[in-house]
């Protein structure tokens, strides 16, 4: 299959994501200071810098080896809730790709699903709790719907759907994490986790095809 995703493409994805988060660290932290504890940008930037360090000094012969290392690195360096959530995502995402010979849209869709199942198991979030899941859920659905049209179409649909989900978190009342203590006062602020999740999918659309 011409459009099979390679380990090199995954590495480009992660580096693109790291760069995006670094450039937007101030924005992410600002979103987090409104309804959280003002460290999402700083923490994600610190973790992804560590990931880039790992990518620059190691070679990986399979996606699952790559993502296992990435997941563990994030878990060890990010802290807070984002570390376990992003770490779990990549660990499960990688496991789902174990032994897969050619990674096309169908295989990638399954891996995304497995990663997000991990996020839900770890964070116990439901739709409209104002979390990263509110970007992930519509993204998965859009990806699956467009999967038959090829990888580029699926990734681009997922990124757009994630952005819509992210924007919709602004009007939601937070029911998970530190933002939930604000109650009504959490309404009117965009969720930082849904924002970084959208960046991850936008980076995927920019690099995996």
Cα–Cα nearest to 158, from 122, 92, 113: 113
Binds another protein by CB under 8 A, chosen from 85, 111, 194, 205: 85
* Site track 147-186 with another protein (rule: CB under 8 A), x = hit: --------------------------x-xxxx-xxxx-x-
Residue 81 contacts another protein per CB under 8 A: yes
Residues 61-80 that bind another protein (CB under 8 A): 75-80
When the beta carbons of 55 and 78 are compared against another protein, the nearer one is: 78
Stretch in the footprint of another protein (CB under 8 A) among 19-27, 36-44, 154-162, 196-204: 36-44
Applying CB under 8 A, the residues found at the interface with another protein are 37-39, 42-43, 75-85, 87-88, 122-123, 173, 175-178, 180-183, 185
């Amino acid at each position: 299959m011409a459009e099979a995703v390679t380990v090199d493409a995954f590495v480009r994805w992660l580096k693109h994501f790291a760069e995006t988060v670094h450039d937007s660290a101030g924005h992410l932290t600002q979103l987090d200071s409104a309804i959280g504890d003002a460290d999402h940008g700083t923490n994600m930037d610190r973790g992804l810098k560590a990931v880039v360090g790992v990518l620059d000094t190691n070679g990986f012969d399979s996606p699952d080896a790559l993502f296992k290392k990435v997941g563990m690195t994030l878990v060890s360096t990010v802290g807070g809730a984002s570390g376990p959530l992003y770490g779990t995502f990549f660990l499960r995402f990688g496991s789902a790709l174990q032994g897969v010979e050619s990674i096309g849209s169908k295989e990638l869709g399954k891996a995304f699903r497995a990663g997000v199942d991990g996020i839900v198991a770890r964070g116990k979030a439901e739709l409209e709790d104002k979390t990263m899941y509110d970007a992930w859920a519509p993204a998965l659905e859009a990806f699956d719907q467009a999967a038959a049209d090829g990888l580029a179409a699926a990734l681009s649909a997922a990124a757009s759907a994630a952005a819509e989900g992210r924007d919709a978190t602004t009007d939601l009342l937070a029911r998970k994490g530190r933002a939930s203590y604000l109650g009504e006062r959490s309404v009117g602020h965009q969720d930082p986790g849904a924002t970084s999740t959208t960046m991850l999918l936008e980076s995927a659309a920019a690099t995996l095809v």
